[in-house]
C-alpha cells in the first residue's frame, strides 16, 4: 500500500497542478448557456477559449468570454461579440450598427435590431459587447453600465469542438 502511495501521489499532484495551471492561464472549454449568440453559436455548444490572447490583440468582431459589469451576475461569464473598444463611438439606428459613424457589415447577426441605441463613446480600457441574436441578447446595450473593463476579459473563443458536426474555428 505504501509503495502505491509513493508512486501515485506525486503523479496525481502533478496532474492537478498542470490542470489548474492550464485552465487558469492557457485555455479552457466553456459550455454556451444561452441563445444570445444565435445563429453563430447555439445553446450547449462547447468552445475552446484562449486565455493567452492579450486585450491589445482583440479586434472588432472577435467572440470574447468576459465577466459583465453586473453585480447580480457576479462570477458569471458571458460570451458576446466585441463591437467597440476604447475611443469608438457606437450607435444603433434604423436596424443597423454604426461604429465611428460608419455602417458595420454584420452578416452573422440573426436579424436587424429592433431598437435604437446611442451614440455612446467607449472609454479607454473598456469594451462594448453585443450578442449576435441582437433582439434577444442581454448585453451592453441594456446594462446600466454598458462597458466591460479590460481586467474582466477572460479570453477569446477560438474553436467550437462540440457538436462534432459543427466543429469550426471562430
Position with higher pLDDT, 164 vs 90: 90
User: Residue 10: is its pLDDT beyond 80?
Assistant: no
Confidence of residue 32 (pLDDT cuts 50, 70, 90): very high
Segment 78-104 shows an average pLDDT of: 98
CA-to-CA distance for 19 and 23, rounded, in angstroms? 6
User: Residue 2: is its pLDDT beyond 80?
Assistant: no
Confidence of residue 140 (pLDDT cuts 50, 70, 90): very high
Confidence of residue 23 (pLDDT cuts 50, 70, 90): low
Whether 36 sits among the annotated catalytic residues: the reply is yes
Q: Which of 36, 126, 140, 156 is catalytic?
A: 36
* pLDDT, position 70: 93
Task: Specify whether the CB–CB gap between 63 and 36 falls below 8 A.
Answer: no
CATH class of the domain at 29-169 = mainly beta
Collapse the DSSP code of 14 into the 3-class scheme (helix H, G, I; strand E, B; otherwise coil) and give the result.
helix
Q: Per residue in 146-166, is it b (16+ CB within 10 Å) or e — as a string?
A: bbbebebbbbbbbebeeeeee
CA-to-CA distance for 125 and 122, rounded, in angstroms? 9
* pLDDT, position 4: 75
Nearest residue to 85 (alpha-carbon basis) of 50, 136, 121, 52: 121
Q: Which of 6, 59, 74, 80 is catalytic?
A: 80
CA-to-CA distance for 87 and 43, rounded, in angstroms? 33
CA separation, residue 141 to residues 33, 129, 145, 147 (Å): 20, 8, 9, 9
User: Residue 83: is its pLDDT beyond 80?
Assistant: yes
Displacement of CA 10 from its chain's centroid (Å): 36
CA-to-CA distance for 155 and 15, rounded, in angstroms? 23
Whether 80 sits among the annotated catalytic residues: the reply is yes
Burial of 84 (0-12, 13-18, 19+ CB in 10 A): buried
Displacement of CA 113 from its chain's centroid (Å): 20
Amino acid at each position: 500500500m505504501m509503495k502505491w502511495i509513493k508512486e501515485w501521489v506525486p503523479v496525481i499532484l502533478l496532474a492537478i497542478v498542470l490542470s489548474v495551471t492550464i485552465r487558469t492561464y492557457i485555455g479552457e472549454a466553456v459550455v454556451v448557456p444561452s441563445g444570445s449568440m444565435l445563429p453563430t453559436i447555439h445553446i450547449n455548444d462547447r468552445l475552446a477559449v484562449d486565455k493567452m490572447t492579450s486585450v491589445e490583440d482583440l479586434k472588432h468582431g472577435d467572440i470574447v468570454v468576459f465577466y459583465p459589469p453586473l453585480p447580480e451576475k457576479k462570477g458569471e461569464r458571458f460570451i458576446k461579440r466585441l463591437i467597440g473598444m476604447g475611443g469608438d463611438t457606437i450607435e444603433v439606428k434604423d436596424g443597423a450598427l454604426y461604429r465611428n459613424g460608419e455602417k458595420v457589415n454584420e452578416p452573422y447577426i440573426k436579424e436587424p435590431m429592433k431598437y435604437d441605441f446611442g451614440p455612446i463613446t467607449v472609454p479607454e480600457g473598456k469594451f462594448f459587447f453585443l450578442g449576435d441574436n441582437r433582439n434577444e441578447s442581454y448585453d451592453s446595450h441594456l446594462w446600466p453600465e454598458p462597458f466591460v473593463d479590460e481586467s474582466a476579459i477572460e479570453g477569446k473563443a477560438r474553436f467550437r469542438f462540440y457538436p462534432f458536426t459543427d466543429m469550426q474555428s471562430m
